[in-house]
Amino acid sequence: MHKLLSLAAAVTLAFSFGAAQAQDKPATAQQNKMATCNKEAGDKKGDERKAFMKTCLSAKKETQQSKMTTCNKEAGDKKGDERKKFMSECLKAKPAA
């Protein structure tokens, strides 16, 4: 009987320790994305909210490389300081991945 109680106590302790550790983990990228989309959804309800969340959650963020490519194309034939300033502003204006 004593062994059974000790085993039950050990299992309970291990489970509670594991649950506590799970709460200390930082949010995943998907959880962060869900929170952001949820805030952006605002007061939308029903099918409108469902459609918004689906679109928001499936949206891909632009990678740094694709941002550079896009801004480079938009810079056209700008040269020197003018190009440097344009690229800086362009890259800041695009959301980071």
User: End-to-end alpha-carbon separation of the chain, Å?
Assistant: 57
Q: How much is the pTM?
A: 0.41
46 and 18 both lie in a single domain: yes
pLDDT tens-digit series, residues 17-32: 555 555 678 888 888 8
Q: Is the pLDDT of residue 33 over 70?
A: yes
51 & 69 share domain: no
Residue 5: which residues within 8 A CB-CB, separation 6 or more? Answer: none
Are 12 and 52 in a shared domain? yes
Structure-model confidence comparison of residues 41 and 22, the more confident one: 41
Sign of CA dihedral 71, 72, 76, 79: positive
Does the pLDDT of residue 14 top 80, yes or no? no
Q: For 28, phi and psi rounded to 5 degrees?
A: -75, 170
79 and 34 in a single domain? The answer is no
51-68 tens-digit pLDDT: 999 988 888 777 788 888
The range of the structural domain enclosing residue 20 comes to: 2-58
Query: Same domain for 10 and 52?
Result: yes
Q: How many domains does the chain have?
A: 2
Listed residue (57, 54, 50) closest to 36, CA to CA: 57
pLDDT of residue 8 exceeding 60 = no
